[in-house]
Every structure is written in C-alpha cells, then in structure tokens.
Amino acid sequence: MDVHEAIRTRRSIRTYLDRPVSRDHLLQLIEAACWAPSASNLQTWRFVILTRPDKLRALRVLAPGFIGRAPSAIVICQDAKEIARRAGQAAVDFCANMDSACAAQNIMLEAHALGLGTCAVGSFEADALRELLDLPTHVLPMLLVAVGYPRSRPEPPQRHIEGSYYFEGYHE
Amino acid sequence: MDVHEAIRTRRSIRTYLDRPVSRDHLLQLIEAACWAPSASNLQTWRFVILTRPDKLRALRVLAPGFIGRAPSAIVICQDAKEIARRAGQAAVDFCANMDSACAAQNIMLEAHALGLGTCAVGSFEADALRELLDLPTHVLPMLLVAVGYPRSRPEPPQRHIEGSYYFEGYHE
C-alpha cells in the first residue's frame, strides 16, 4: 500500500473480528516500530505483546479505552534508566513520550497495510498495568495499541486542515 | 512509495541541498500530519511553516539541533487551551506530546515518499521560539521538523529489534 494512501485511509478501529493475528504479523509490526526515529538514536523502547485471553481480559479492566475485543495488544514501554544513563534524567519524559508515539504511528500504518486495524490507547491504570506485565520500576508503560482484524471501518472523522497552519509566524 | 519501504528507508537527514521546497509540497506534509490520530480526535495541533531565510537563521540559533541549512521547517505546536477545554487540564501534557509525535511521523514518511528529507528536533529555547513565531501563551511549541532535499542519505543506524520485545510479559 502506498504511504500516501496508508496515511489517509488509516482509521482507529474499535471493533474486531474473532480472528487471531499471526506471530509473524505481530513481529512485523515490532520491526516497523523499531524503524521509527528516536532521540539521539536511543531506541529505548520495549514492547510487550499480549495475545493470551486472560491477559487481554485484565487489560480491558485497567484500560477502559481498550475496547472491541481485539485479539492482541502491543504495550509500548520505555526503559527510563537507559534514557537517563545515555541522555540525562532531564530527557526522560520527552524521549519516552515522543519516541513511543513515533513508534506507535509506524505500527498503525504498517498494520493498516497488512489489512489489520489498530487503536492507540493512552489512558490506563499504570500500577495495575505494571503488575500485569511484570514491569520493573525503570520500565515505563507509555501507550497501548490494540491490534486485530477490523469488523468494520468507520468513516473518517472530518479533518480540520484549513486553519491549522500558518506561514512564517502564528496569527489567529 | 510503499508504506513498508517508506518506514524502513526513511532517515534523519542532516545536510540539505540549496533548493526550496514548494508550497504545494509543504501543504501536502501538513495534510499528512492532520491525518494522524489524536486523543479523542482533538486535532489541537497548529503548524507554523518557516521558509524565510531570516526566520530559519534565527531558528538555527535557538535550536542547535536544527542543522544542515534546511530551506524550510515545520514547527508543530499544540493549543493547550483547547485541549484543556475539551479534555481537561490533566490531559494537556499527554495529548500535546503524543499527538505531536504521531503527526511528525506522518510528515516524515510523506516527505520521504516525495523525495524530501526531514529531521525532527526536540531541543530548543522555548521562550525564544515563542517570540520568533509570535505564539500566544496557550500555544505550545512541541517539535521542529527540518524539511528539504537531502544532500546525502546516511546509512541506517543499526536497529536493535531482537531483545526489544517480549510476549505476554516482561522478562530480562
């Protein structure tokens, strides 16, 4: 699928077929994520892939936005100790956020080209998620991405392009 | 260009040809950015496009990572007042960071497909940048993206895919 088309036809998918995603496809999404840029090329992302029904059930409880019974999820985490060691403590928040989101966008576009649907979810009970994933304290869960075959593809919400940009300086 | 290929062949470009980027191409990048997902579909991004030599010179001073004499830049900003109004004050940091980075990744992939090079820069003197762009206090500058024709394409830095992912839970 053309990148131009992929960017414009990707949708956040909120209902999924009861059909598993293959391990090969999941690993292809991880590979796409790893090709995202990262601050100072740190590559401090860590991905936890969930496919077990009991784990996904627990995820639905602690992340109310994780809906539609996706058969798999990728939890994008960041190794805060590694960021701090290589870029300084002050860089942790910025790098963890920005690098996770760039990786997520690659996952979502690659998935779309594979016929998969995704939905990024940023709201969750962090402590419960840490426990579910056995995360050590220095590995921060940043973003969940639901992954599965779409049951339906919603129409695109309207995009507000006019009025979102300015040349040479901001003016209202 | 295929999305799979675009994701894997995009590079951060740090030297540019002395050749301007057309207004049409710059607007195509903004449109790609606007197709990124945003938390609760807020679309609170604001883009300031710089092409004037005096503005770019000033940008180089306040953002030391903005190198290689790119002929244009897109500054991704977020309307914090609008995020707070629609999603609550607690959502501002998260939405501003994540949504900006997803938009940036779309810009970088679309640019790559157009034969353009980009480099995201997250480090800048925020007050000086606000002044340069005439940003009101509620519009936050989040990320710069240099845009131009690559003078050269560096080899890809090695990707550490093995060891970056875990199934069903984290384990070192």
Q: pLDDT tens digits, residue range A88-117?
A: 999 999 999 999 999 999 999 999 999 999
Q: Which has more pLDDT, A78 or A157?
A: A78
Residue B1 neighbours by CB under 8 Å, 6+ apart = A2, A3, B112, B113
For residue B138, the model assigns a pLDDT of 97
Residue A83 neighbours by CB under 8 Å, 6+ apart = A42, A44, A91, A92, A95, A96
Does B63 score more than 90 pLDDT? yes
Query: Which residues of chain B are within 8 Å of residue A122 when distances are taken between CB atoms?
Result: 39, 94, 98
For residue A166, the model assigns a pLDDT of 97
Nearest to A3 among B2, B27, B170 (CB): B2
Taking the CA atoms of chain B, what radius of gyration do you get in angstroms? Answer: 17
For residue B172, the model assigns a pLDDT of 74
pLDDT-derived band at B55 (thresholds 50, 70, 90) equals: very high
For residue A49, the model assigns a pLDDT of 98
Mean pLDDT value of segment B61-83: 95
Query: Which residues of chain A are within 8 Å of residue B24 when distances are taken between CB atoms?
Result: none
CA distance A21 to B61: 48
Arithmetic mean of pLDDT over chain A: 96
DSSP of B31-86: HHHHTS--GGG---EEEEEE--HHHHHHHHHH-TT--S--SEEEEEEEEHHHHHHH
> Which chain A residue has its CA at the smallest distance from B29's CA?
A4
Query: Which residues of chain B are within 8 Å of residue A101 when distances are taken between CB atoms?
Result: 97-102, 105
The domain locations on chain A are 3-7+28-148
The CATH number of A3-7+28-148 is which of 3.90.190.10, 3.40.109.10, 3.30.465.10, 3.40.50.300? 3.40.109.10
For residue B155, the model assigns a pLDDT of 87
pLDDT-derived band at A155 (thresholds 50, 70, 90) equals: confident
> Is residue B100 within 8 angstroms of chain A, CB to CB?
yes
> Is residue B87 within 8 angstroms of chain A, CB to CB?
no
For residue B42, the model assigns a pLDDT of 94
Nearest to A159 among B8, B34, B77 (CB): B34
Query: Which residues of chain A are within 8 Å of residue B7 when distances are taken between CB atoms?
Result: 32, 35-36, 106, 109-110
pLDDT in tens, B114-150: 999 999 999 999 999 999 999 999 999 999 999 999 9
> Which chain A residue has its CA at the smallest distance from B35's CA?
A8
> Is residue A39 within 8 angstroms of chain B, CB to CB?
yes
* Sheet containing B117-121: order of strands: A165-167, B45-50, B72-79, B139-148, B117-121
For residue B9, the model assigns a pLDDT of 96
For residue B147, the model assigns a pLDDT of 98
pLDDT-derived band at B171 (thresholds 50, 70, 90) equals: confident
Does ipTM come in above 0.85?
A: yes
For residue A96, the model assigns a pLDDT of 95
Mean pLDDT value of segment B50-71: 95
Q: Which has more pLDDT, B71 or B156?
A: B71
SS3 A169: coil
For residue A78, the model assigns a pLDDT of 97
Cβ atoms of B101 and B161 within 8 Å: the answer is no
User: What pTM does this model have?
Assistant: 0.97
pLDDT in tens, A17-47: 999 999 999 999 999 999 999 999 999 999 9
Q: How close does chain B come to A118, measured CA to CA in Å?
A: 11
Chain A interface disruption, residue of B105, B131, B172, most A CBs within 10 A: B105
Cβ contacts below 8 Å, chain A against chain B, sum to 199
> Is residue A22 within 8 angstroms of chain B, CB to CB?
no
Q: How close does chain B come to A131, measured CA to CA in Å?
A: 9
pLDDT-derived band at A71 (thresholds 50, 70, 90) equals: very high
Query: Which residues of chain A are within 8 Å of residue B112 when distances are taken between CB atoms?
Result: 3
Q: How close does chain A come to B164, measured CA to CA in Å?
A: 5
Nearest to A109 among B3, B94, B97 (CB): B3
Cβ atoms of A36 and B162 within 8 Å: the answer is no
Q: How close does chain A come to B16, measured CA to CA in Å?
A: 18
Query: Which residues of chain A are within 8 Å of residue B49 when distances are taken between CB atoms?
Result: 165-168
For residue A171, the model assigns a pLDDT of 85
Nearest to A143 among B36, B98, B109 (CB): B98
